[in-house]
Amino acid sequence: MQRHNFCGRTRREFLWQAGAGFSGLALAGLLEDSFFQRQDTAADGVSPWRNPLAAKAPHYTPRAKAVIFLYMYGGPSQIDTFDYKPSMYGMDNKTIDVKTFGRAGHKNQGRIVEPRWQFKQYGECGKWVSDLFPHVGQCVDDICFVHSMTADSPIHGSAMMQMNSGRIVSGSPSLGSWVNYGLGSVNENMPGYVVMLHYTGGPINGPRNWSSGFMPASYQGVVVRSAGSPILDLQRPAETPDGAQRRLLDALRDYNQAHEALRPGNPDLAARIASYELAYKMQSTAPEVLDLRQETEETQRLYGLDDPQCAYFGRQCLMARRMVERGVRFVQIYSGGAHNDDNWDAHGDLVLNHTKHAGETDKPIAGLLRDLKQRGMLEDTLVVWGGEFGRQPTAEYAEGTGRDHNAYGFTMWLAGGGVRGGTSYGSTDELGAHAVENRLHVRRIHATILHLMGLDPNRLTFFFGGLDQKLVGPEGALPVLDLLA
Amino acid sequence: MKQTVHVTRGARRQLRVNFWRTALGFLLTVICQASIILVVRADDPPTMTEAEANNFFTTRIEPILKNKCWECHGDDPANLGGGLALTSRADIAHGGDSGPAVDERQTDASILLRAINYDLYEMPPDGKLSKKAIADLTTWVKLGMPWPAENEKVIHAAERAGHAAVDWDAARRWWSFQPVAEVSVPEVNETTWPINEIDRFVLAGLEQRGLAPAPPASRETLIRRAYYDLIGLPPLPEQVSRFVDDPDPRAYEHLIDQLLDSPHYGEKWGRHWLDVVRYAESNSFERDGTKPFVWRYRDYVIRSFNEDKPYDQFLIEQLAGDELPEVTAETLIATGYYRLGQWDDEPADALQAKFDELDDIVATTSQAMMGLTVNCARCHDHKIDPISQQDYYALLAYFSNIRRFGVRDEASVRDASLVSWSQEAGTSVSWRQRRRELRDIEQRIAEIEELVKADFAPVEHEEFQYEFHRVPLIQKRSGTVISEEMADEYRQLVEDRQRLRNTQLTEQMTILCVKEAGPFAEPMHVRIRGNPHVLGAEVTPRWPSIFGGKELPVVQPAHGASTGRRLALAQWLTQPDHPLTSRVMVNRIWQHHFGRGLVRSANDFGLHGDVPTHPELLDWLATRFVQEGWRLKAMHRLMMLSQTYRMSSQWHEEYGRVDPNNNALWRFHLRRLSAEELRDSMLFVNGTLNLSKQFGPSVFVNLPQEVLQGQSRPGDGWGQSTPADAARRSIYIHVKRSLRVPLLEVFDGADTDTTCPVRFVTTLPTQALSLLNSEFSQEQARQFADLAAQRVPDDRGQRVAWILARVTQRQPTAAEIERGQTLLAGWIEHDGLAEQDAWQQFCLLALNLNEFIYLD
């Protein structure tokens, strides 16, 4: 009978399975795309190298070559940052009817905590931005604000999974994995997908946030640190001189080549030989990429490296630019880590919390945008800002200014990479509690990001568990064309 | 003339259809109807003349539909959101996947009106309609949706593309839904090559394509292959040479038997099962809490494989060990199967979480045990396989009475998933008695061992460290150092000890297991589009209708704590003539011996999966498997004793062109060690692997600080084990969903969230970095160098040879030894390394050799 083959899919799962334990040569014969077939020459100039992360052609001409996702972990409050609600001033402590849903459950009424910062207009577009972000404020003409975001869960665990992987349960590949899978890396000496964490630790769910889920581990995010050995196991042990390691690698290649010579028809052996040369090259390339001493003092100041409050995030932003410059596709930087006030999760003292986290990030973010722009990189680098959800307009407790989580409406913004700067899209109600106009589910932002990277969100599939899996789910999602320049 | 009518639903629909269809065509002749007021609810009667109604539609309603709805519900008939068109009354009445969009009996409950009010669905998704628009649409629906006929665009359901139903007749003929065929073993031309039936099936296929099998693998290759395939560890070089020199024609057979008897067999094969049931020991989500006592399930799996438990029994115990006539600690532990998945202790939507968890069970059970992706029918009928959405919920209904893992806190987990088990209550033999028995046996074993130890050569002392090597060491001295009777007694004692060890010896224990909500289950309904809040038709548990759907006799177990549904499912799945169960499992066994299954898509035997390369062989094996009492060890023997298994992996230019994928099996295939095999082997060759301790709570290996730093609470949920525990086999390492051991992860260990039928095999520079630079590798190299210095204290060349033999299990060539010596000299003389550091480098090199990591 006729074999079904819907959606004209590439049956990657089948191919992987067919390849399990079997030679890549057999695989290459089966494949029509260049994914496995690409033959390169490794660092020693001899060994053939097949890199599963080799660069691949996108579906259509991309607007952006790379994404830098500034992840405001914990959920920043929209009405205290970029979603200006002038009518709320003077309403402090008034009880009001409003439907909210956060970690404290569903409520129909709450005590207003009026925005704790003043807003000013910036740029030609006249965007209102709170005093938390005086530096970012000066970049608003390059930024496209989305005020009408919604997510399915107001609970960190599941909301983090959704913002990063599209689903509220773990097991699916993260956004960066999809990009890595769809496009590969143009620099084989660097990972294609990099994650940088806060000094207090990772976010909850830890590495599940940058997992490749049901895809091979090669597509997962690689954690890059701004101090010490930047990548796990990248540096040879201090007690091993470079010459000794080179001598080891040369001898290893000799042994392995003699072994391979007796075993023709097994290209995996050659690939593994070549992978050692590439590893050796990565050892020297990656630290160079991440060496900020090569940047001028002016650039370092631009990112706030001279300011202890924001130097940590500043270094990460500057490293992100250097990586993107060298072909890394997807960089995610976490603002905030660990728990409670170590991130944007302002349940207690809103002022204390947001002052700290905005203070750590405002100057570096503005520095990144300006630096990208002055180097002509902003036009094809997409910068994304946002957390897993926003915060409520009302207080969580009877006392104090803490706000609970809010997935009914929150703000994210995009800049560069083909988005329309100086604009705002969608809106929340007068309290900033619910998205009302042009509501956008997280899926739509994912679809938009993929679209800007030249990938069709509804055609970028990975066959697994009987389904053509997509980042945007089985129903699919369209990019938001109104956000594009 | 005005008229108020109350009509039945059917009559009203008829009336309305007649009215609106005819009104415009025969406007003048149906004057009496022209001013009918349709009253839907007597207390809320909107009134409007027909002209007013038409005007209302064109000025107020049509613009809303056009601007806000038709983009997804009408503009492109081939691509309707939710299958719903809002372009005609007929289409609205027909509805989409969620059923009719307007409920004429109760318009307020209409999906259309609920959706625009953001109740149930949120439509339009990009923002609620204005209050006025919502009011207008509500009025319009209550008016009976007046719609001038010329403005209607009927998109009949049958014309909808993208919703083509599965061709059931064709699907019924699909090979995997056919009964397992009685096949006869084919005739072959070359009659000297085949040893058993497998060979004749394979050879017949080769001959048909003009191919010939590769020459036999060398004995060195074969013993290494057999060791790794059955116990996941290499042989010692001395065992290799003994096997190579063994004149006994049945030496290979004895080797297989010895390995199958090894207690480490279950540690290797149990891991394959843990892959398909996505075994993990934590819950995922924010807290990623540890699942209490989940390791008992892992031990149960290892023990079941070691005991050669019949596979049908193995499935029954996992699916319904609590519903059996005789429930034992073992069968109850088996139901920990249901507790391995993710659990959200703080779900935003509790019902959604419950159905996600049930889906996880349906997906795992159907793929792991049936080789079917029933999970694809959660939101709509399966697009490829003959599995309807009803089938999905009917299968889910077997599990729907299971209590969630917990509600929120630890107490709730205790309540829903743990029992305190008293051994006395479960079995007739008291644990004390067995413990005494075990102690006596161990004492006698030690006595006999003491008698022969004095006779050991130095290498035999090393072999002796591993229990599974001891029997041959004792047997070798049968009739010399010890009497034949004593040698036989020893063998018997070891068997008895293993049997006792395979039994739980704890008086009281807490068991992680399944629990149901009671003897009666709530009714189960189809969930429209997979939305747990939208109920469709009621379903009762039954197996998918492609298998001949009928209700199963569900018998409540006597204890009255559960429905008995799962036992009914397990009994159906394990019927000897079930077309999938035996095929799926023999295919897995084949896969792990030959590198891939006869059906490559091991979890998908459906129409999207791959057809078997050797369908008759698959059926013959499946039949044999059931005949042999569903016993795996019989299948291992059968497969491993075949010539097909004993082929070399030698390449053949011409065959490589004719059959590049080796579908016909003209050669054996090289394979890389699995992540666990790699780690275990590194520890094995340097003499630090702790093989003597089996079972029990999981252990923690040291993780680098930068890995722990990825957690929100660095180090949270990751303990510290003693060095002896940290050196245990990889299967005993704690499996934490949010924190994976880097070496196991980078070498393609199984993902923890979804069933893993076949592991990826990637080759990446990060693997090289890990094996060269990680603290773990450095430490293993150091230990290796220390052992080498102990064993071969003097001669540099001999030490090089010893190290290489240790990782490759063969004697190195003179050139290889020479190369090693030159290398050492270079490190010491040119790079200024101290002697012992140079040896550590050489050991590191040995652990990175392709020959160490790939099996011929």
Residue of B nearest to A51 (CA): B764
- Contact pairs from chain A to chain B, CB under 8 Å: 324
Q: How far is B3 from chain A (nearest CA, A)?
A: 42
Contacts with B740 from chain A: Cβ below 8 Å: 207
- Helix, strand or coil, per DSSP, at residue B121: coil
DSSP state of B65: I
Round to the nearest angstrom and report the end-to-end CA distance of chain A.
Answer: 49
CB distance A54 to B690 below 8 Å: no
Confidence of residue A246 (pLDDT cuts 50, 70, 90): very high
Distance of residue B740 Cα from the nearest chain A Cα, in angstroms: 8
Residues in Cβ contact with B193 at an 8 Å cutoff, skipping those fewer than 6 apart = B199, B203, B213, B643
How far apart CA A209 and CA B739 sit, in angstroms, is 11
Minimal C-alpha gap between B765 and chain A (Å): 5
Query: Half-sphere exposure of B518 toward its Cβ, with a 13 Å CA cutoff?
Result: 3
Residue B712 has a pLDDT of 87
Q: Closest-CA residue in chain B for A439?
A: B126
Contact A26 B755 (CB under 8 A): no
- Give the whole-angstrom CA distance, residue B88 versus residue B149: 9
* Identity of the residue in A237, A244, A269 whose CB atom sits nearest the CB atom of B833: A244
Mean of pLDDT over chain B: 88
Query: What tokens appear for A470 in the block?
Result: 């997509």
| Res. A295: pLDDT tops 90 | yes
Give B815's contacts in chain A (Cβ within 8 Å): 258
Residue of A nearest to B668 (CA): A22
Domain boundary assignment for chain B: 3-152, 178-255+578-666, 426-510, 671-751, 773-855
pLDDT digit string (tens) for B175-187?
Answer: 999 999 999 999 9
> Within its chain, how far is the Cα of B449 from the centroid?
42
- Is A16's CB within 8 Å of B826's CB? no
Q: For testing the chain A interface, which of B167, B663, B667, B706 should be mutated: the one with the most A CBs within 10 Å?
A: B706
Q: Tell me what pLDDT residue B683 has.
A: 98
Give the chain B residue nearest A259 (alpha carbons): B851
What is the pLDDT, as a whole number, of residue B735? 97
CA neighbor of A261 nearest in space, from A52, A27, A47, A43: A47
pLDDT, tens only, B729-743: 999 999 999 899 999
| Cβ–Cβ below 8 Å for A17 and B601 | yes
Please judge whether A247 and B714 are an interchain contact, meaning their C-beta atoms are less than 8 angstroms apart: no
- Helix/strand number for chain A, H first, E second: 11, 21
Amino acid at B246: D
In this prediction, residue B106 carries a pLDDT of: 73
B746 to A217: CB separation less than 8 angstroms, yes or no? yes
Predicted pLDDT at B22: 39
Q: For an interface test with B, which of A5, A11, A23, A146 has the most B Cβ atoms less than 10 Å from its Cβ?
A: A23
**How far are the Cα atoms of A202, A270, B10, B737, B850 from residue A260, in angstroms, in the given order?**
42, 7, 78, 37, 8
Question: Integer distance in angstroms from the first to the last C-alpha of chain B?
Answer: 94
> How many Å apart are CA A209 and CA A174, to the nearest integer?
7
Query: Residue B751: its pLDDT value, please?
Result: 87
Alpha-carbon gap, residue B594 to B225, rounded angstroms: 10
State the Cα–Cα distance between residues A145 and A340, nearest whole angstrom. 26
Is there a contact between B604 and A466 if contact means CB atoms under 8 Å apart?
yes
pLDDT digits (tens, 9 = 90+) for B238-279: 999 999 999 999 999 999 999 999 999 999 999 999 999 999
Q: Measured between CA atoms, how close is A156 to chain B, in angstroms?
A: 7
CA distance A143 to A133: 13
For residue B91, CA distances in Å to B102, B109, B112, B114 come to 10, 18, 12, 18
- CB spacing of B367 vs A465 below 8 angstroms: yes
The arithmetic mean of pLDDT across residues B436-442, rounded, is 87
pLDDT digits (tens, 9 = 90+) for A4-22: 332 222 333 333 333 332 3
Chain A neighbors of B408, CB-CB under 8 A: none
Flag if B765 and A6 touch (Cβ within 8 Å).
Answer: no
pLDDT of residue A267: 83
Q: Please, which residues bridge with residue B728 across strands?
A: B690
| Dist. CA B836–CA A278, nearest whole Å | 28
The reported pLDDT for the residue numbered A53 is 65
Note the pLDDT tens digit of each residue in A331-345: 999 999 999 899 999
How many CB atoms are located within 10 Å of the residue B690 CB?
A: 18
B284 contact residues in A (CB cutoff 8 A): 157, 169-170, 205, 208
Residue-wise pLDDT tens digits, B348-365: 999 999 999 999 999 999
Q: How far apart are CA A346 and CA A404, in angstroms?
A: 7
B484, B309 Cβ separation under 8 angstroms: no
Nearest CB among B284, B346, B604 relative to A208 is that of B284
Is it the case that residue B811 has pLDDT exceeding 70? Answer: yes
- How close is the nearest chain A Cα to the Cα of B484, in Å? 44
Chain A residues with CB inside 8 Å of B764's CB? 52-53, 218, 275
Q: Is the pLDDT of residue A194 over 80?
A: yes
Write the pLDDT tens digit of every residue in B784-795. Answer: 999 999 999 989
pLDDT of residue B436: 82
Of residues B595, B765, B844, nearest to A22 (C-beta): B595
A155–B710 CB contact, under 8 Å:
no
Q: 3.40.720.10, 3.40.1530.20, 3.40.50.1000, 3.40.50.10420: which CATH number matches A66-226+290-483?
A: 3.40.720.10
Per-residue pLDDT, B76: 76
The predicted structure's pLDDT at residue B156 = 54
Q: Does ipTM come in above 0.85? A: no
B661:A202 CB<8 A: no
Shortest distance between the Cα of A17 and any Cα of chain B, in A, equals 6
Q: Mean per-residue pLDDT for A370-378?
A: 98
For residue B706, what pLDDT band results from cuts at 50, 70 and 90? Answer: confident
Q: Taking the CB of residue B273, how many other CB atoms lie within 10 A of it? A: 20
Please state, in angstroms and rounded to a whole number, the distance separating the CA atoms of residues B691 and A177: 38
Structure tokens at B356: 């996600």
Residue extents of the structural domains in chain A:
1-37, 66-226+290-483
A329: closest CA of chain B, how far (Å): 18
Cβ distance of A248 and B669 shorter than 8 Å: no
- Local confidence band at B534 (pLDDT 50, 70, 90 cut-offs): confident
Matching residue, tokens 């290799």: B240
Distance from CA of A420 to the nearest CA of B (A): 19
Q: What is the pLDDT of residue A315?
A: 97
Count of residues in chain B: 856
Instruction: Measure the CA–CA gap between B46 and B371, rounded to whole angstroms.
Output: 57
**Torsion angle in degrees (nearest 10) through CA of B644, B649, B653, B657:** 60
Range of weakest confidence among A205-214, A386-395, A454-463, B112-121: B112-121
Specify the higher pLDDT residue, A55 or A231: A231
Cβ pair A26:B856 closer than 8 A: no
Contact A18 B596 (CB under 8 A): yes
Yes or no: say if B589 and B229 are a contact pair by the CB < 8 Å rule: no
Residues 6+ positions from B505 with CB-CB distance below 8 Å: B431, B434, B435, B438
C-beta atoms of A236 and B773 within 8 A = yes
- Closest Cβ–Cβ partner in B714, B748, B853 for A201: B714
**What average pLDDT does the structure give for chain A?**
88
Q: Do A465 and B826 touch (CB under 8 A)?
A: no
Determine what percent of chain A is predicted with pLDDT higher than 90. 73
Mean pLDDT of B761-770: 90
Please state, in angstroms and rounded to a whole number, the distance separating the CA atoms of residues B65 and B823: 79
The per-residue pLDDT for B2 is 38
B763 contacts A275 by C-beta, under 8 angstroms: yes
- pLDDT tens for B815-847 read 999 999 999 999 999 999 999 999 999 999 999
Q: Measure A318 CA to nearest chain B CA, in Å.
A: 21
Query: Any residues with CB less than 8 A from the CB of B835 and at least 6 apart, and which?
Result: B828
Q: Which whole number is the average pLDDT over A242-253? A: 96
Q: For residue B841, what is the nearest residue in chain A, using CA coordinates?
A: A248
**Mutating which of A165, A190, A233 best tests the B interface, going by the most B Cβ atoms within 10 A?**
A233
Across the range B201-205, mean pLDDT stands at 97
Nearest CA in chain B to A199: B709
Provide the pLDDT for residue B11: 39
Among A17, A218, A237, the residue with its CB nearest the CB of B758 is A17
Query: Going along B640-722, which residue ranges are E strands?
Result: 671-672
Share of chain B above pLDDT 90, in %: 63
pLDDT category at A278 given cuts 50, 70, 90 is confident
Q: Which of A303-307, B372-376, B490-494 has the highest mean pLDDT?
A: A303-307
Quick one: A127 exposed, middle or buried, by C-beta within 10 A (0-12, 13-18, 19+)?
Answer: buried
Task: Give the pLDDT mean for B70-82.
Answer: 79
By three-state DSSP, how is residue B36 classified?
strand
A152, A158, A225 ranked by CB distance to B285: nearest: A158
Q: Is the pLDDT of residue B37 over 50?
A: no
Chain-chain contact of A259 with B604 (C-beta, under 8 angstroms): no
Q: For B595-611, what is the mean pLDDT?
A: 91
The highest-confidence range among A207-216, B497-506, B695-704, by mean pLDDT, is B695-704
Confidence of residue B53 (pLDDT cuts 50, 70, 90): confident
Cβ burial, residue B286 (10 Å; 0-12/13-18/19+) = buried
* pLDDT, tens only, B445-454: 999 999 898 8
Query: Of the ranges A95-109, B3-17, B160-174, B652-666, which one carries the lowest mean pLDDT score?
Result: B3-17
Comparing B523 with B5, the larger pLDDT belongs to B523
Residue B5: its pLDDT value, please?
Answer: 34
* pLDDT value of residue A42: 34
Nearest residue, CB atoms, B850 vs list A222, A259, A337: A259
Q: 3-class DSSP state for residue B574? A: coil
How far is B265 from chain A, CA to nearest CA, in Å?
20
Contact A158 B383 (CB under 8 A): no
Residue range A49-63: mean pLDDT, rounded: 75
From B362, which residue of chain A is nearest by alpha-carbon distance?
A465
For residue A79, which of A317, A369, A338, A408 has the smallest C-alpha distance? A408
Query: CA distances (Å), A87 to each of A110, A350, B392, B615, in order?
Result: 17, 20, 51, 73
How far apart CA A320 and CA A371 sit, in angstroms, is 11
Give B745 to chain A, closest Cα distance, Å.
7
- Distance from the Cα of B343 to chain A's closest Cα (Å) equals 9
Angle between helices B581-594 and B265-276 (to 10 degrees): 120
Instruction: Return the ∠ at Cα A447 (arms to A446 and A450), rounded to 5°.
Output: 85
> In 3D, which of B577, B621, B584, B616 has the Cα closest to residue B599?
B584
How far CA A146 is from CA of A78, A83, A421, A479, in Å, comes to 10, 9, 11, 13
Here the tokens at position A319 are: 């490293």
A244 or B80: whose pLDDT is higher?
A244
- Say which of B384, B385, B769 has its CB closest to residue A233: B769
Q: Provide the greatest CA pair distance for chain B.
A: 120
CA distance B849 to A358: 50
User: Exposure of B670 by Cβ count < 10 A (0-12 exposed, 13-18 middle, 19+ buried)?
Assistant: buried
